[in-house]
């Protein structure tokens, strides 16, 4: 009986530990320290490169078009656009299409909602290669902030908030020349 109770306690401890670790947000130390070279298209086929954005700094929201991320995407867009306050840095969404089961539907929605020439700029990462090179976990929504030299200066892995958006733009302002 004592062995059964001990085994039960060990199993419960492992389950609790795994559950806690699975919910932890990724550390900013894990993300790519330098903006990788890329050439990606928006939903209408216009091509953008990393050099298109690095001149004045970059706020990059890395996400995937899956239902779980929809609320965070909308809130980040709302809060970041409102807090931008004249910054020359670009606000860009990088959509990792790899985990989406409904890629065609997702692309139609993006084409419908995206306005070329307005922020946020929407880039399509068809196979998740850029997301992977940024070291962002698949299916997560993470905000990465790069200075005008393409160096990672800040990351936000928490839930969208007005305060977090203001902090993000403050980091951009402090880092650009």
- Average pLDDT over the chain reads 82
CB atoms within 10 A of CB 7: 10
Residue 7 belongs to some domain of the structure: no
Query: What pLDDT is recorded for position 17?
Result: 43
What is the tens place of the pLDDT at every residue in 132-177? 999 999 888 999 999 999 999 999 999 999 999 999 999 988 776 5
Better pLDDT: 76 or 25: 76
Residue 10 belongs to some domain of the structure: no
Q: Which residue has the tokens 């690095």?
A: 54
Predicted TM-score (pTM) of the model is 0.79
DSSP one-letter code for 34: B
Residue 37 belongs to some domain of the structure: yes
CB atoms within 10 A of CB 168: 26
Residue 2 belongs to some domain of the structure: no
Query: How far is Cα 64 from Cα 134, in angstroms, rounded to an integer?
Result: 14
Residue 18 belongs to some domain of the structure: no
- Residue 24 pLDDT class (50, 70, 90 cuts): very low
Q: Containing domain of residue 116, as a range?
A: 26-175
Residue 11 belongs to some domain of the structure: no
- Domain containing 50 — which CATH number? 3.40.30.10
Residue 16 belongs to some domain of the structure: no
Residue 13 belongs to some domain of the structure: no
Query: How far is Cα 122 from Cα 133, in angstroms, rounded to an integer?
Result: 18
What is the tens place of the pLDDT at every residue in 107-134? 777 778 888 889 999 898 888 899 999 9
Count how many domains the chain has: 1
Residue pair 128/138 in contact (Cβ under 8 Å)? The answer is: yes
Does pLDDT of 7 surpass 90?
no
């Amino acid at each position: 009986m004592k062995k059964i109770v001990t085994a039960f306690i060990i199993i419960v401890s492992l389950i609790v530990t795994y559950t806690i670790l699975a919910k932890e947000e990724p550390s900013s130390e894990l993300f790519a320290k330098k903006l990788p070279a890329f050439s990606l298209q928006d939903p209408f086929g216009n091509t953008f490169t990393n050099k298109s954005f690095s001149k004045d700094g970059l706020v990059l929201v890395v996400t995937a078009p899956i239902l779980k991320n929809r609320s965070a995407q909308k809130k980040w867009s709302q809060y970041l656009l409102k807090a931008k306050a004249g910054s020359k840095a670009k606000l860009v969404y990088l959509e990792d299409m790899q985990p989406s089961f409904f890629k065609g539907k997702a692309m139609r929605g993006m084409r419908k909602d995206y306005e070329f020439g307005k922020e946020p700029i929407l880039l399509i990462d068809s196979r998740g290669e850029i997301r992977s090179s940024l070291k962002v976990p698949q299916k997560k929504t993470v905000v990465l902030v790069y200075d005008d030299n393409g160096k990672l200066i800040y990351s936000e892995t928490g839930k969208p908030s007005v305060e977090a958006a203001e902090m993000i733009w403050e980091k951009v302002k402090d880092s650009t020349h």
